[in-house]
Structure 1
Amino acid sequence: MSEFDIVGPEAIREGVATDAYFERTADTLQHAGKNPRVVAEVTADQFPDGDYEVFAGVKDAAVLLSGYDVDVDAMHEGLLFDGGPVMRIEGDYLEFARLETSLLGFLSHASGCATASLEARMAAPDSTVFSFGARHVHPSIAAMVERSALVAGLDGFSHVAAGDILGKEASGTMPHALLIAFGRGNQAEAFQAFDESVPEGVPRVALCDTYGDEVEEVLRAVETLGDRLDSVRLDTTSSRRGDFRHIVREVRWELDARGYEDVGIFVSGGLGPTELRNLRDVVEGFGVGGYISNANPVDFALDIVEVDGEPAAKRGKLSGVKEVYRTDDGGHHIGLRGTPAPTDAESLLKPLIRDGELVRDFDLDAAATRAREDAERVGFGDE
């Protein structure tokens, strides 16, 4: 029995992390001597409806499918989609039948988190935005949440182990627990101890709402750390905030009045795109937690659309192999393979795996650039 309730990489890779009916299907087809050559497509919606989402989870999906005798085409991570396939798999059905559950899980959850992250990114495009939501999810998927945030262009994240996996350094300074451990009225001692103990490269960001009024605690941080103070963070619970924008403006005023125009204000705690739009002109940065980590997964499905070269589909799905295009005006278009593409259109489904071999590299910075440019192209997040 596993120490934690975690399905391991071996079970995922070998197709054991699957729904039982795929095992029954494989057994039945093998018994009947059937293993048709199929094309299967991953889709969320059949037709465009103007509701764009971000494609993520591609790296894990590629690792899952590599080594199996299949050809795979997929959109690049970070691109936005609006109906039609985001991935296409061609091969003998039994080669990948047991992988469907894990494949959809990789794509669905990551794309949901990336879409929420991009909503936050576009709500405050010129601000620093961090992902702070790893505490809301099972620790085994924290790296997925943080990677999805980076795909969408967020500036960083908080989870240390995820950083080790992603090759990125986690961000964060102090929680309320640190201030409480020093005791009420001893915030200055906590600020001083933090300054003395953490490496020089860590920004001096003081959390200033543990016991008293936000302005009062901000001024205490200024008096304690002086020019070493980089920023202050307000994480006031929503039940005690009142007019949070007014509180932030008051803090800014008092900092400026004392010559601390360079001290930034960072806010966190229950924030989403609405709050980011409301505060982006008065703060330098945001920590966004549950809005990202608690995002609903995209409802992807994997459907066979061709069997042994002939169009096929279940009721309610579109048969035949499809192409997906982005036009210069930001339009998202779907058509049958072999039919003329729209004018000035780029095909979005690109080679990912050929004969079981991965033929694409993954670059988080490139994905973030792709997401930002595509979001602007299709008008994602426009208010």
Structure 2
Amino acid sequence: MTTLFNADTSLSEQLSFSSDDCSLLTDLYQLTMAACYAGEGIDQKQASFELFARKLPEGFGYLIAMGLEQALEYLEKFRFSSAQIKALQGTGIFESAPAQFWSLLESGGFTGDVWAVPEGTAVFALEPLLRIEAPLWQAQLVETYLLNTLNYQTLIATRAARSRNVAGEKTTLLEFGTRRAFSPQASLWAARAALAGGFDATSNVLAALQLGEKPSGTMAHALVMALGTLEGSEEQAFTAFHQYFPGAALLIDTYDTIAAAHKLASKVKAGEINLTGIRLDSGDLVTLSKQVREILPNVSIFASGDIDEWEIARLQENNAQIDGYGIGTRLVTGNPVNGVYKLVEIDGIPVMKQSSGKISYPGKKQIFREVVEGELKTDTLGLVGENYPEKQPLLKLFMKNGKRLYSPYTIKQIKQQTAASVASLPTQIKNLNSSTLLSVEISSSLQKLTDQTKR
């Protein structure tokens, strides 16, 4: 079988990819379906696919759409090289595929249109985050990458927005999830989505620098143990670290948290150290934070260690004295956003899926949102072309004939969009303890088309 790598390529290099490889980063059935379309002569038929979540993750009242920027980058670069085509042919899987299939892969990139809600927009079940309108073979092949990109970043952005809503605007939120993200690539996307969802900074150096942000972090127990052992004490470890990073937050729970706080208080009182922050990573955070606040009243207290929006809420309810949180594992993992990508129209003909529990609405759709005095009142899922003067259509045209229509938004702009979108949500939708979901209205035109399509 032909491979894309020579015999001297290491295994680690074989299992990494560049942006040039992304067209092959797909499920096999996307390619086999495209080959079938080519053989049947329908590959160029205009198709519309929509990406949406049938239901929200358990306990979620909304989603924050994210990942569009990476989706557009992917579609801009979508093409197959001669080496990739040769490797596919070498698998033997496509021996009976029509010659037209190979011509399609050789023909160039994505030529379709992309409609999407802007990143940072709150959406609900059944509402399209994105619609692809393109020749059938192209619209089919891009499914896997689009789902991977939007599902993951939407999850992270939503959890970040929920954490920010619970913590409040004055609380510092840092993204610490790189070591727990599902891959190095996922860690970059998680850092981006967290920042866009409302976090203040990320400890991921590469992600921060690529996004024009300053990375943020503290120190680990290893430094305290290493310097403390070799240089005599925990205090000397703190002194040494501050010599090179004055003002940095110190991790004080390696041994005895309260004893360390008292030692630092003495050094602060003596003018030996300028202490602005400490971090707690273990133990009873409610009790410890209150005790440390009494000992170090003018020092910011950060907490980490399996923190999420639910834990922030619990700590606040118990009056924990915490000024900021480092959030990692529970931010970048957890219940997935189970977005799907479904054909809704082919060659101008509306289509729908009727499988049990997996019904989809036919036709190209638009979300019409009514906001009154800054609060979201209703969302109507309707058909493109419907008109509601009092409501705002959410899906906008971001790409036409394979070409972008707008420059990328900055992280600051997306963060502002997220904050405004969450602020507009009814309180019962944002409440972590509420099971209330926004009821998305189905327009009469969409319902009529659905009934006709079923028949």
Give the TM-score of the pair, scaled to structure 2: 0.76
Offset of residue 307 of structure 1 = 1.1
Question: Does residue 351 of structure 1 match 2:392?
Answer: no
- Shift, 1:97, TM fit: 2.1
Q: Which residue of 2 aligns with 1:18?
A: 26
**Deviation per CA, 1:72-105, whole angstroms, max 9, x where unpaired?**
1101111110022111111111123222111110
Secondary structure, counterpart of 2:303 in structure 1:
strand
Q: Which amino acid aligns with 1:16?
A: L
Please name the residue that 1:327 is paired with.
370
Moved over 6 A (4+): none
Is 2:187 the counterpart of 1:178? Answer: no
Question: 1:113·1:296 contact (CA, 8 Å) conserved in 2?
Answer: no
Task: Quote how far apart the aligned CAs of 1:324 are.
Answer: 0.6
Unaligned runs of 5+ in 1: none
For residue 265 of structure 1, what is the aligned residue in structure 2? 301
How many positions carry a matched residue from both structures? 365
Report if the CA contact (8 A) 1:16-1:98 is conserved.
no
Aligned partner of 2:171: which letter? Answer: S
Pairing 1:61–2:71 present: yes
SS in 2 for 1:183: helix
Structure 1 position 34 matched with structure 2 position 81 = no
CA contact (8 A) 1:70 1:90 kept: yes
User: Counterpart of 1:45 in structure 2: which amino acid?
Assistant: R
Report the residue type matching 1:310 in the other structure.
Answer: I
**2:54 maps to which residue?**
45
Q: CA deviation at 1:46?
A: 7.6
Question: Conserved in 2, the CA contact under 8 Å of 1:153 and 1:371?
Answer: yes
From 314, 337, 343, give the equivalent of 1:278: 314
Aligned position for 1:144: 189
SS of match in other structure, 1:378: coil
Q: How does 1:278-297 map to 2 (within 5 A)?
A: 278-280=314-316, 282-297=321-336
Task: Check conservation: 1:192, 1:224, Cα contact below 8 A.
Answer: no
- What is the TM-score normalised by the length of structure 1? 0.90
Answer yes or no: is 1:169 the counterpart of 2:225: no
Counterparts of residues 42-121 of structure 1 (less than 5 Å)? 42-45=51-54, 51-66=61-76, 68-83=110-125, 84-121=127-164
Answer with 1 or 2: which has the greater Rg. Answer: 2
For the 8 Å contact 1:272–1:288, the answer to whether it is kept is yes
Question: Does the 8 Å CA contact 1:109/1:296 hold for their aligned counterparts?
Answer: no
How far 1:309 sits from its partner (Å)?
A: 1.2
User: Displacement of 1:183 after TM fit?
Assistant: 3.2
Alignment of 1:224-373 (within 5 A): 224=267, 226=271, 228-236=274-282, 241-242=283-284, 244-256=285-297, 261=298, 263-280=299-316, 282-315=321-354, 316-328=359-371, 329-330=375-376, 331-341=378-388, 344-360=390-406, 361-373=408-420
CA–CA distance in structure 2, aligned partners of residues 290 and 46 of structure 1: 24
1:80/1:371 contact within 8 Å kept: yes
AA in 2 matched with 1:251: V
2:179 matched to 1:135?
A: yes
How far off is 1:26 after superposition? 1.1
Whether contact under 8 Å (1:44, 1:299) holds in the other structure is yes
Identify which of structures 1 and 2 has the higher relative contact order when contacts are C-alpha pairs closer than 8 Å and 6+ apart. 1
Quote the sequence identity (%): 27
Local SS of the residue matching 1:3: helix
